[in-house]
Structure 1
């Protein structure tokens, strides 16, 4: 059973309707449009709530996504690159998000800086596919992972603040 914060986060994100992945040439453009609309809505909501924390952009066909995410801890901003590819089985399978500069710094990470979402997020995604999209991946996958892992990495001295921000 999901907690109240998770339910609230999900209720604020638009659910997607088109069940299509990158191999579905006819429906993928419609799914991609829904993904962008959901991400835009998510960023707008985050800005309105003064909790803006990520930027994403994709390649031309929407199969490779890159950007930045940041985490504020004790009034300091810690910024990280984020990247992922859309799997061929998308939207039935969630993308594997990577934060390359944290590779090897935490046990909750796989080779290449891919964050571990298997225990908590993967079952949630599986129950909600194909209605979940990239905005859900960020809000319910990467966001909670950052909230748990980054303060721990900071306390161990494994992550330092970008003072130029």
Structure 2
């Protein structure tokens, strides 16, 4: 990890509760920590001028959806983002999906799930249960967008929306 990544990672609150969607009141505690961590991450991003996503969940916190965006050559590319919390969460990281990019890059699985297996999943495994959704976005989706979107634009696969 470079120093900028380490610095931004330190600004994301760590989580304490080791619970998933089937754990009742413990899941409610974990969900509260998830929201606090996300709010901290979003506020840090805004303070650093790097606001790049909006996210919300269903009532029980098992389905998440929103928008993410990436600027390339001063043009904004915006995408729907969604994921479900796995039953084995937090041991298993969520599979972040960008449905409209499905099939446009080799670094994606069927259905638009972004590929995070080589770099992110081992890091997640070493940091369970301290990592949460904000960490998945910071260390997973953010770097993926930074690499893949410019490549897709340069190859003519992505065009600016009118």
- TM tier relative to shorter chain: over 0.9
Corresponding residue of 1:92: 91
Superposition map of 1:135-154 within 5 A: 135-154=134-153
Secondary structure, aligned partner of 2:111: helix
Deviates more, 1:126-135 or 1:6-15: 6-15
2:49 counterpart of 1:50: yes
Q: CA deviation at 1:7?
A: 1.8
Shift >4 Å, 4+ stretches:
none
Deviates more, 1:6-15 or 1:114-123: 6-15
Distance across 2 between alignment mates of 1:142 and 1:118: 12
Could you tell me which runs of 5 or more consecutive residues in structure 1 were left unpaired when the two chains were aligned.
none
Give the SS at the match of 1:27.
Answer: helix
- Size of the aligned set, in residue pairs, is 162
How many Å apart are 1:77 and its aligned residue?
0.3
- For residues 16-37 of structure 1, the C-alpha deviation after alignment (integer angstroms, 9 at most, x for no partner) is 0111000101200010000001
Give runs of aligned pairs for residues 1-165 of structure 1, distance below 5 A: 2-163=1-162
Whole-angstrom CA distance in 1 between matches of 2:63 and 2:82: 8
Q: Which TM-score applies when normalising by structure 1?
A: 0.96
Distance 2:93 2:105 in 1: 21
The superposition leaves residues 49-86 of structure 1 with CA deviations (integer Å, 9 ceiling, x where unpaired) of: 11100000000000000000000011110000000000
* Aligned partner of residue 158 in structure 2, secondary structure: coil
User: Where in structure 2 are there 5+ consecutive unaligned residues?
Assistant: none
